[in-house]
């Protein structure tokens, strides 16, 4: 993989490496409507099924890379200098772009506006931002498909943050935009925990693929959901899309529940929120809920239902709420 990227990204010896003075890139999180859970190709990070997502506006990652006068690489995550194993993990990824990057006089700041590693897709925004920032800083020439490939090597779902709107990441590794979301679409995030999860999504996926007796059925059913959802998004059939999203969520968590060891991200409160959404929907409130690798719940609804949903959630004791709108895509904020 290193040699292929050195070739396609035009690697040159460190002494002749081109570097900008400073770049800033911003990338939003994306929330999966049709889930990604498991890799059929670990090295190239290719999923077993297509997945479909939507970027959101208020939770994003900013990456700033700047030259120093002298010294070696410094990497700050949420204002904390990375050292030891954590630094080595990010270095392993960044060497795809510059193999000698740790010896270069540069400083990198990566900051998430939402919780990190709490099931709110922080890795999707982080690696899409970092990949675009590094390519821009080192003045690399690349195609969109090469950017997709590089981004997903850091985190598979990150490649879906490279486009706005409803985006599909296919089993072949390609990323495509399916449709624009309606302007009055809103997403309520019910924050049940900001703590870092005990087991990473990457490890939990691997456990599911290797041990869940339900995994083959998940692959078959989730691919059908992706195909149906892609069609329903063309005219934005909200009922169809929402019910398919909830079905995909249930399938993914059934894999976790049947894995060995068992992986349980949802809490009692997670299920209370999910059931509350279903109860309100039966009363005419257009709303559909999903969870990912964490306890926090995301509720898709229309703007005119947000106030009523917020009141209902608060009356049940859920007060940590964020209202988000569809977001943009990973983009360069400044480059000098």
**By C-alpha distance, which of 44, 30, 62, 74 is closest to 129?**
62
Same fold, 2-180 and 185-324: no
User: Does the pLDDT of residue 138 top 50, yes or no?
Assistant: yes
Query: Which stretch of DSSP H or E encloses residue 216?
Result: helix 215-233
- The tens digit of pLDDT for each residue in 265-280 reads 999 999 999 999 999 9
Higher pLDDT, 197 or 152: 152
- Least confident residue range of 148-152, 192-196, 228-232, 297-301: 192-196
Query: Strand, coil or helix: what is 109?
Result: strand
- The tens digit of pLDDT for each residue in 308-336 reads 999 999 999 999 999 999 999 999 999 99
**By C-alpha distance, which of 291, 293, 297 is closest to 322?**
297
State how far the Cα of 242 lies from the Cα of 130, in Å rounded to an integer. Answer: 31
pLDDT of residue 122: 78
User: Does the pLDDT of residue 60 top 70, yes or no?
Assistant: yes
Q: Which of the 8 DSSP states describes residue 118?
A: S
CATH number of 2-180: 3.30.230.10
Task: Tell me the domain boundaries of the chain.
Answer: 2-180, 185-324
User: Does the pLDDT of residue 203 top 80, yes or no?
Assistant: yes
- The tens digit of pLDDT for each residue in 254-263 reads 999 999 999 9
Name the token pair of 241.
């899309």
Q: pLDDT tier at 200 (50, 70, 90 boundaries)? A: confident
User: Does the pLDDT of residue 66 top 70, yes or no?
Assistant: yes
pLDDT of residue 87: 93
**By C-alpha distance, which of 141, 154, 140, 143 is closest to 27?**
154
pLDDT of residue 175: 98
pLDDT of residue 17: 84
Predicted TM-score (pTM) of the model is: 0.92
Residue 292: how many other CB atoms lie within 10 Å: 23
> CATH fold of 185-324, please?
Alpha-Beta Plaits (3.30.70)
């Amino acid at each position: 993989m290193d040699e292929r990227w050195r070739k396609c990204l035009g690697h040159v010896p460190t002494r002749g490496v081109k570097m900008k003075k400073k770049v800033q890139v911003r990338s939003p999180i994306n929330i999966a409507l049709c889930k990604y859970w498991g890799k059929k190709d670990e090295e190239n990070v290719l999923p077993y099924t297509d997945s479909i997502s939507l970027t959101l506006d208020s939770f994003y990652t900013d990456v700033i890379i700047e030259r120093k006068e002298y010294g070696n690489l410094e990497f700050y995550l949420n204002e904390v200098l990375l050292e030891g194993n954590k630094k080595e993990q990010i270095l392993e990824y960044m060497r795809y772009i510059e193999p000698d990057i740790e010896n270069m006089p540069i400083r990198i700041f990566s900051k998430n506006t939402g919780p990190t590693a709490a099931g709110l897709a922080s890795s999707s925004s982080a690696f899409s931002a970092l990949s675009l920032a590094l390519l821009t800083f080192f003045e690399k020439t690349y195609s969109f498909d090469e950017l997709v490939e590089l981004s997903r090597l850091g985190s598979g779902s990150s490649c879906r943050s490279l486009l706005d709107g409803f985006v599909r990441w296919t089993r072949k590794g390609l990323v495509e935009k399916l449709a624009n979301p309606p302007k009055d679409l809103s997403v309520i995030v019910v924050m049940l925990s900001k703590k870092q999860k005990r087991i990473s999504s990457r490890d939990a996926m691997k456990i599911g693929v290797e041990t869940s007796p339900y995994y083959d059925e998940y692959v078959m059913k989730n691919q059908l959901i992706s195909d149906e959802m892609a069609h329903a998004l063309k005219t934005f059939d909200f009922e169809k899309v929402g019910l398919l999203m909830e079905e995909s969520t249930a399938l993914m968590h059934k894999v976790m529940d049947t894995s060995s060891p068992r992986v349980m991200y949802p809490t009692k409160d997670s299920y209370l929120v999910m059931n509350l959404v279903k109860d309100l929907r039966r009363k005419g409130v257009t709303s559909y809920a999903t969870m990912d690798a964490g306890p926090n719940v995301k509720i898709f609804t229309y703007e005119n239902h947000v106030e009523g949903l917020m009141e209902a959630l608060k009356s049940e004791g859920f007060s940590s709420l964020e209202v988000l709108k569809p977001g943009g895509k990973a983009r360069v904020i400044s480059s000098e």
